[in-house]
Amino acid sequence: MDKEHQLSRTLGLWDVFSIAAGAMISSGLFVLPAIVYRIGGPSIVASYMLASLLILPSVFAKAELATAMPRAGGTYFYVKRSIGGLWGLFCGLSDWCSLAMKSAFAVMGIALFSKMFCQYAFEITLSNSTLKIIAAACCLFFGGMNWVSVKSTTRFQNLLVLYMLVVLSVFIVMGISSVHPVRFHPFVSPEASHGKWTILALTGAVFVSFGGLTKVTTIAEEVRQPGKQLPTGMLLAWAVVSLFYIAVVFVTIGVLDSEALAASDAPISTAAGVFMGTTGVVLLTLAALAAFVTTANGGILAASRSPMAMSRDHLLPAGLAQVSKRFGTPGHSILITCGLMILSIVFLELELLVKTASALLLLMFLMDNVSVILMRQSKIQTYRPKFKVPFYPYLPIATIVVYLVLLLKMGRVPLCISGGFLITSAVWYKLYAAKRVMQDSAVMRVVQQVTDREITSPTLENELRDILFERDNIIADRFDHLLHDCTIFDLKGKKPAQEVFEQAAAVFSEKLEIDQKTLVEKIGQREAEGSTVLETGLAIPHIVIEGEKKFQILPVRAADGIDFPHAKDPVKTVFFLAGTKDERNYHLRALMAIAQIVQEKDFYGRWFAARDTAALRNLLLLSKRKRDTQQ
């Protein structure tokens, strides 16, 4: 990736935890309980618990995809690589909008608390238009912070998350003794419009509260050790924040009577006033403001990476992929994200904003699980996640079914908006992106396996290979460069050794500028001096040639075998080596590198399962051998 579009790896485990936790603890905790309580009554506790459990399979799916492909863009990047450009564009736009709407929900929370403060401190009532102006100003402020520095943004985020967790802990400990069990009867409100489906329907509505958890994967490219720190940070954030959500909502319902809870714009602060007095109101109000700030701040950080990723893949105009030379951030992408947030604040009502964001999140999580299935079934050897979804494939399939049911229970408007995104994506893809995008994805590999149709483009495998080099901090050595540029034979049918020697000599002749006949004689003489078959099925013929500073390698896979002289069994794996006398030391290093490769666990299984020469090359390049970086 060129430096103009490359992001810096500056984030650690605590940053991942803070961004994920901060994106979860926001309006979904400090505002949303009152909104959904009006619909379902005390049963919203069960909805929050169920939503927490239902997000977990998507945490697993995102962790697997992000550790295999730690790139900016999150769901967009995974779907584009697994299903294709059109669905990638749809998911990219939907993911971007859902994150932006969730962040807009958060800044509206800041505006609502500003209204409460003005009424309490100055007895001034702010109009709805004034609230929207305050929210829009917050969007611009947080956008500016994200433009200037990612690291400064996360430091600020870390402090606010720490403060929130401390205050919420105090709220739970002090409030649990003030809970009245009578507040939970009847558990489901008699006026609930969804009847017996109320808990399930509201689960879809509160799902947005947990949606921010996995959005940290959109900045995976900026995490120092994504293979380890991303899944650990996400799972830690899920466990901690889920406990806080359920406990805080439980205490709030148990402390406030139904009328007070339903009428409150800040139910947690109102509940704190019951058993902590004015001090509790102030502390929880400040915690709520901190929560809104972390969600808005982290949301802009994560959301802005989606347009950037789509621009990198030529699905959106090139300017959105540019990274500021001064700040190292995608300024144009941040700007349009703030613009979308402001439009959402101005034109969407709060309840519709929540439902639409939840519907889009459910769609994204559904597509994440589809992506996991396709990437696994494609059997692409360069797809190597550090974390894998447990109980595969049953858990992803069950999750897809459950998410579909939740989507259908959310109502017509959110589904229509989601359909609008799909139509918009299809039109844009047809008019702008179709001619600019390489058509290569995991689903094409699955089609190949089913139809036995040959797919010649190794684009996806090579891209994943390059990502793994970056993820694992692999510094390519001379042997890697030789493998990258060498010819590889994938022979069909049983072959005599002499025929293969002649084919190898023809390749070496062109690259080393030596007569082919001379090379054939040298290979034959070397084999006559002593067999180069090192173990059953493996041979490493190596010759010394005239000249200086020349060295070449030629790997061969012969599934049906090669009849080497003096070998009892057919040889199926060959590494031809040819080098000048001054390269004798490197000759030994190359032999050591080959030895490390073939001794890796299940090397031969993967070697013979590789689809073509591109897959063979990637298998060799991604070996875990010790690199000789001193050359």
Look at residue 348 and give its three-state secondary structure. Answer: coil
Cα 544 to chain centroid distance, Å, stands at: 48
Q: H-helix or E-strand containing 174?
A: helix 150-175
Range list of β-strands (E), 488-592:
489-491, 495-496, 533-535, 538-539, 542-545, 551-563, 571-580
Highest average pLDDT, of 107-116, 439-448, 464-473, 484-493, comes from 484-493
Between the CA of residue 258 and those of 185, 189, 246, 271, what are the distances in Å? 10, 10, 18, 12
In the predicted structure, residue 581 carries a pLDDT above the cut 90? yes
373 close to 397: Cβ distance less than 8 angstroms: yes
How far is residue 371's CA from residue 84's CA, in Å, rounded to a whole number? 10
Q: Which of 5, 3, 624, 620 is nearest to 314 (CA)?
A: 5
Mean pLDDT of 241-248: 93
Q: 234-271 burial by CB neighbour count: b if 16+ within 10 A, else e?
A: bbbbbebbbebbbbbbbbbbbbbeeeebbebbbbbbbb
In the predicted structure, residue 354 carries a pLDDT above the cut 80? no
Q: Is cis: bond before 393, omega within 30 of 0? A: yes
pLDDT of residue 193: 65
How far is residue 24's CA from residue 7's CA, in Å, rounded to a whole number? 25
Q: Is 207 exposed, middle or buried (0-12, 13-18, 19+ CB in 10 A)?
A: buried
Mean pLDDT of 424-450: 76
Sequence-distant (6+) residues with CB within 8 A of 17 are 161, 233, 236, 237
Superfamily of domain 474-621: Mannitol-specific EII; Chain A (3.40.930.10)
In the predicted structure, residue 351 carries a pLDDT above the cut 70? no
Q: Positive or negative, the Cα torsion across 258, 263, 268, 270?
A: negative
Higher pLDDT, 507 or 105: 507
- Percentage above 70 pLDDT, the chain: 91
pLDDT tens-place string over residues 155-199: 777 788 888 899 999 999 999 999 999 999 888 777 666 666 778
Q: How confident is the model at residue 541 (pLDDT cuts 50, 70, 90)?
A: very high
pLDDT of residue 380: 85
Look at residue 360 and give its three-state secondary structure. Answer: helix
**C-alpha angle 491/493/494, rounded to 5°?**
100
How far is residue 434's CA from residue 426's CA, in Å, rounded to a whole number? 10
- Percentage above 90 pLDDT, the chain: 36
pLDDT tens-place string over residues 369-402: 999 999 999 888 889 999 999 999 999 999 999 8
Mean pLDDT of 522-541: 90
How far is residue 496's CA from residue 527's CA, in Å, rounded to a whole number? 14
> How high does pLDDT run on average in the chain?
85
- In CATH terms, 3-433 corresponds, of 1.10.3470.10, 3.40.50.620, 1.20.1740.10, 2.40.10.120, to 1.20.1740.10
DSSP letter at 429 equals: I
Q: Is 475 exposed, middle or buried (0-12, 13-18, 19+ CB in 10 A)?
A: exposed
For tokens 């889920």, what's the residue?
Answer: 242
pLDDT tens-place string over residues 554-576: 999 999 999 998 888 999 999 99
How far is residue 282's CA from residue 296's CA, in Å, rounded to a whole number? 21
pLDDT of residue 250: 95
Q: Which of 356, 345, 361 is nearest to 413 (CA)?
A: 356
**C-alpha angle 409/29/337, rounded to 5°?**
80
Binning the chain into helix, strand and coil, the percentages to the nearest 5 are 70, 5, 25
Residue type, 15: D
In the predicted structure, residue 243 carries a pLDDT above the cut 90? yes
Backbone angles phi, psi at 173, to 5 degrees: -65, -45
Identical fold for domains 3-433 and 474-621, yes or no, is: no
Highest average pLDDT, of 36-40, 85-89, 484-488, comes from 484-488
**C-alpha angle 22/25/28, rounded to 5°?**
140
DSSP letter at 434 equals: T
Pairing of strands 542-545, 533-535: unpaired
pLDDT tens-place string over residues 131-164: 888 888 988 888 887 787 666 666 777 788 888 8
pLDDT of residue 417: 78
Highest average pLDDT, of 2-16, 210-224, 306-320, 473-487, comes from 473-487
Domain boundaries, the chain: 3-433, 474-621
How far is residue 297's CA from residue 286's CA, in Å, rounded to a whole number? 16
Mean pLDDT of 602-612: 92
In the predicted structure, residue 312 carries a pLDDT above the cut 60? yes
